[in-house]
Amino acid sequence: MSVVTNTTTIGAIEAPSRRNTELALLGFAVAIPVFAYLNVGLAIDGEVPSGMLGYGLGLGLLAAVAHLVVRKWAPYSDPLLLPLATLLNGLGLVLIWRLDQSPRLISLAKRQYGAFSASAPNQMMYSAIGIAMFVAVLLLLKDHRVLQRYTYISMVVALVLLLLPLVPGLGTDVFGAKIWIRIAGFSIQPGEFAKLVLAVFFSGYLMVKRDALALASRRFMGLYLPRGRDLGPILTIWAVSLLILVFENDLGTSLLFFGMFVIMLYVATERTSWIVMGLLMAVAGAVVVGSTASHVQSRVAAWLDPFECLKTAPPGTNMAYACDQMTQVLMSFGSGGILGTGLGQGNSDLIQFAANSDFIFATVGEELGLTGVMVFLLLYGLIIERGIRTSLAARDPFGKLLAMGLSGAFALQIFVVAGGVMGLIPLTGMTMPFLAYGGSSVIANWALIGILIRISDTARRPAPAPAPNPDAEMTQVVRP
């Protein structure tokens, strides 16, 4: 009886300690972007930027609101997730504001659109909406296990979100990729929200079917192969990912969804054969689609030899744009060196399209150098590590799979974007979470952090003490 009471008391003491740690880390997470904002202003104009106070107060207010909500409704959650997300979001705002000051991008926007509109204020608004989504997740989702009831509903919702860009009059084509929809003048990327909904579906489905999927019928080259009738799920997801790639020309989303499912399948079954089969099917699908889809072919050509591709590509085509972007990105990384040119002193604004979204990591590589790139990757790696730790600590199989699926999707997106920008793999058109400009991305990723914090709080919360047994206490008193 006393042991249980002490455990509960220790857990109650640990919760305020975690939140105090989180508050201290949040202070650094706000101070570092404010210092970076000051650094950019001094480098560009030689004076303190006029908007620094408003930027610091805005970011600090958003962080304070998120902290108070976590302290009240998720006191036992991981104390690192919120500060890490806040730091990345704040640094992303600084990088976007830095590109807003570029005379090249301002003149280019005026030539193409007749006027220039700064992106940083919009990104601050999207960040506020993202924090509101984060708060809504913690307030409305009292127990993550409730999501298991909506396993098949989430599948339908995810399919609807993925098909929306194909609806005539609703979807828009941006340089060959059909991944956007326009509603009331706003562009929305449904795939960013579909990854969250698909993680819920995969978790619920695999929790029920994992025993059947773990069975092996034969052994081949050291691998236990699944039964033929159990190949249906992975074949279906493979086909869906190929359809997304073919009809929407979206290489990144198809890789993300298929990779997330394979990771969760491996975690659920502990069968290495699923990983091997998933990799083989991904390569086969990429080869087939890459040889038939012109949009994918242009990105592959830009990846293999962007400088030669730039010489031979017909002007004004998607291939010419892809090759020009890739050459500028590689030169940005190359000129950054070890320590970079300094914030506000690079030339990554020579990338004339999506410099602040798809290719914002090139600004990091040039102005902060290899050191800055490694720091950002370390910050992302810490979020992934805390998500995996949350998965291991979860007490229920659904929570384990959901946390692992969200962490895996986050990790895959980092790899796909960073690998594409640095020339490791072909460009995919996805954006760096929290760092790149875009409302859909920042809102969806704040929702992802909110779900991970909810699972973490449930996993770390002390188990309630059992009710006292009067009969046992009377026996102890009566016993001589």
Express each pLDDT in 55-69 by its tens digit.
999 999 999 999 999
pLDDT band at 4 (very low <50, low <70, confident <90, very high): very low
For residue 14, pLDDT beyond 70: no
Query: For the ranges 184-188, 204-208, 364-368, 380-384, which has the lowest average pLDDT?
Result: 184-188
pLDDT band at 162; cut points 50, 70, 90: confident
pLDDT value at position 424? 85
The pLDDT of residue 298 is above 80: no
Give the least confident one: 214-223, 294-303, 313-322.
214-223
Q: Which residues contact 197 (CB under 8 A, 6 or more apart)?
A: 154, 157, 158, 161
Whether pLDDT at 242 is above 80: no
With 0-12 CB in 10 A as exposed, 13-18 as middle and 19+ as buried, what is 14? middle
Residue 187 host element (H or E): strand 186-188
Query: What are the Cα distances from residue 371, in Å, to 213, 347, 376, 416, 435?
Result: 43, 18, 9, 20, 17
pLDDT at 290 (0 to 100): 65
CA distance 452 to 455: 5
Asked whether the beta carbons of 171 and 419 are under 8 A apart, the reply is: no
Whether the predicted pLDDT of 441 surpasses 70: yes
CA-nearest of 50, 46, 31 to 91 is 31
pLDDT at 144 over 80: yes
N- to C-terminal Cα separation, the chain: 20
What is the average per-residue pLDDT within 100-111? 84
322, pLDDT greater than 50? yes
* Residue 7 banded pLDDT, cuts 50, 70, 90: very low
Q: Looking at residues 226-231, what average pLDDT do you find?
A: 61
Residue 3 clears pLDDT 50, i.e. is over it: no
User: pLDDT tens-digit profile of 404-425?
Assistant: 999 999 999 999 899 988 888 8
Q: What mean pLDDT do residues 153-157 have?
A: 87
Pick the more confident residue, 258 or 24: 24
How large is the average pLDDT for residues 115-141?
A: 93
Computed over every residue of the chain, the mean pLDDT equals 83
pLDDT digits (tens, 9 = 90+) for 245-291: 666 666 777 778 788 888 888 888 877 777 777 777 777 777 776 66
**How many Å is the Cα radius of gyration of the chain?**
24
Task: Find, among 189, 313, 325, 288, the residue nearest to 248 by Cα.
Answer: 189
pLDDT per residue over 327-368, tens digit each?
888 888 888 899 999 998 888 777 877 788 888 999 999 999
The per-residue pLDDT for 206 is 85
Instruction: Write down the pLDDT at residue 470.
Output: 58
For 217-230, give the DSSP string.
EEEETTEEEEPGGG
Note the pLDDT of residue 126. 95
Q: Is the pLDDT of residue 465 over 60?
A: no
pLDDT of 1: 37
Cβ(52)–Cβ(37) below 8 Å: yes
